[in-house]
Amino acid sequence: MISYTKVFQATAFSSSSPKEVEILKEYLFCINADGLIEKVVGPEADDYKYLLELYQGTENFHRLADGQYLLPGFIDLHVHAPQWAQSGTALDLPLYDWLNTYTFPLESKFSDIQFAKDIYEGVVTTLLANGTTTALYFATIHKEASLLLAKICAEKGQRGLVGKVVMDDPEQTPENYRDADTQTALADTEEFILAVKELAKSVKQGVYPVITPRFIPSCTDEALKGLGELAAKYDTHIQSHCSESDWAHTYVQDRFNKNDAFALHDFGLLGDKSVMAHCNFLNDDDAELFANTGTAVSHCPISNAYFANSVIPIAHLHAKGVEIGLGSDISGGFSPSLFDNTRQAVISSRMLDDGVNPSLPAEKRGVPNSRITINEAFYFATAGGGESLSLPIGRLAENYAWDVQIIDTTIASAKLPIYSTNEDLFDVFQKIMYLARPENIREVWVQGEKVHSRM
């Protein structure tokens, strides 16, 4: 009796722990009508042959071709969707000036729904083509355009977690890009939450509203408090920026006489469904607070090289028990690819470990034990992201969503250097992680549905 809607036969890579990648050679992945992985069957299992005979030759059976491999879809924990319009540009100023010179003027234009539509369709399509099956988005302050972004995720099949941004403090925001007042900011947020929850009723892969104070400097105390209360009332995800740069970190210390992490906590903004971007300047007490509340760090390594004045001690935070995922931070980070960000995460961690100033003696140059491996970066981009969002995504395992990317290592324009038919599979994994380009991402599936294919 055929009961699975799809069965895939493939060699796959999935994190079994932060440091270990499991190689599932020629496994069967049995998908049910809800788009979940119901059963994972290895060649040694009793029912492998039986299932193969049952499904092979049916339209529900998909065998990956030679040179093709499965990875979990990536989970981008920090994307500013409107900033896609300026990706690759505007990288010459520090954070505060960058926001006021380029970013607030750009985001203010999203009051125009047609302008918003073009850019939001572009960014969702681009992220899917880069293997990102789930994204945690900042939209803008505009309720209608933010809802449009959620609808575009829903239509294109991406799992979108979307926030209407709140910025209501006249001291720190321009007149033409600010919530009308605190009450309006909170009322618009509540209406946005209800509208997205309504939309979600008909979206297989899920779409979620997210409480989104831009960062403490943009928001009044009343707004931060009100947003904490709304998050509790509707049990939503929460996102913001925390201790990103010297300026942002010091601003909060000056205003509250405490670190960003504790200030956010006072407003009810840290919890199991909270994801804070950057967090470069967390001290050990802040990290402990994150670990105790279940708050995750979205590590944005490319962006950090431009705006964070530092390399985040990501290995140290992880060792302290903080949940970690990876973010592109478009457009602070120029790349829509989490492959690019995994690579930068490894590179930056090695530069922190060794240090960068050659005029210092080797033993004084770096911060020992700061390195992460490509396995850990892959974990952050997949399973770590899923844990950060408290969703069953990011692993190729039973009861997880069928969110995958099919990587083709053989295509002519982007052939990976694999010259032996029995190349060590861990080497294949590493070559994919370091060398794959968007051309190699042949198909992308979310919740059991194909949402992207490149012929």
* Interface contacts to ligand GUN, rule CB under 6 A: 80, 95, 99, 103, 214-215, 241, 244, 303, 307, 329, 332
Three-class SS of residue 27? strand
**Nearer to ligand GUN by C-beta: 315 or 330?**
330
Q: Applying CB under 5 A, which part among 168-176, 220-228, 322-330, 432-440 lies near Fe ion?
A: 322-330
**Nearer to ligand GUN by C-beta: 308 or 446?**
308
Q: Applying CB under 5 A, which part among 155-163, 276-284, 367-375, 443-451 lies near Fe ion?
A: 276-284
User: 311 φ, ψ to 5°?
Assistant: -105, 125
286 binds Fe ion (CB under 5 A): no
188 binds Fe ion (CB under 5 A): no
Say which entry of Fe ion, ligand GUN, none residue 244 contacts (CB below 5 to 8 A, set by partner kind). Answer: ligand GUN
CB of 178 to ligand GUN, least distance (A): 13
Say which entry of Fe ion, ligand GUN, none residue 214 contacts (CB below 5 to 8 A, set by partner kind). Answer: ligand GUN
CA distance 409 to 442: 9
Contacts 24+ apart (CB under 8 A), 24-33: 24/396, 25/425, 28/52, 29/70, 29/396, 29/402, 30/4, 30/6, 31/4, 31/5, 31/6, 31/7, 31/402, 31/448, 32/3, 32/4, 32/5, 32/448, 33/5, 33/448
Residue 273 C-beta-side C-alpha neighbours within 13 Å: 16
**Nearer to ligand GUN by C-beta: 208 or 334?**
334
Helix (H) or strand (E) holding 323: strand 323-326
Question: Would you give the distance in Å from CA 325 to the centre of its chain?
Answer: 6
Q: Are 312 and 339 in contact (CB under 8 A)?
A: no
CB of 268 to Fe ion, least distance (A): 21
Q: Applying CB under 5 A, which part among 27-35, 53-61, 323-331, 349-357 lies near Fe ion?
A: 323-331
CB of 304 to ligand GUN, least distance (A): 9
Total residues binding Fe ion (CB under 5 A): 2
Of 412, 418, 387, 409, nearest to 400 (Cα)? 387
Here the tokens at position 102 are 């380029």
**Nearer to Fe ion by C-beta: 95 or 195?**
95
Say which entry of Fe ion, ligand GUN, none residue 215 contacts (CB below 5 to 8 A, set by partner kind). Answer: ligand GUN
**Nearer to Fe ion by C-beta: 10 or 238?**
238
CB of 243 to ligand GUN, least distance (A): 11
Say which entry of ligand GUN, Fe ion, none residue 376 contacts (CB below 5 to 8 A, set by partner kind). Answer: none
CB of 78 to ligand GUN, least distance (A): 8
CA distance 409 to 155: 29
Of 242, 232, 231, 93, nearest to 163 (Cα)? 231
CB of 95 to ligand GUN, least distance (A): 6
CB of 30 to ligand GUN, least distance (A): 41
Strands 159-163 and 132-138: parallel
CB of 278 to ligand GUN, least distance (A): 7
Q: Which residues pair with 132 in a beta bridge?
A: 74
**Nearer to ligand GUN by C-beta: 252 or 270?**
252
**Nearer to ligand GUN by C-beta: 149 or 391?**
149
Q: What is the DSSP string of 204-219?
A: TT-EEEEEEE--GGGS
Among 169, 286, 329, 387, binds Fe ion (CB under 5 A): 329
Residue closest to ligand GUN (Cβ) = 332
Question: If 0-12 CB within 10 Å is exposed, 13-18 middle and 19+ buried, where does residue 398 land?
Answer: middle
Angle at which helix 425-435 crosses helix 374-381, to 10 degrees, equals 70
Please give the residue ranges that form the binding site for Fe ion (CB under 5 A). Answer: 277, 329
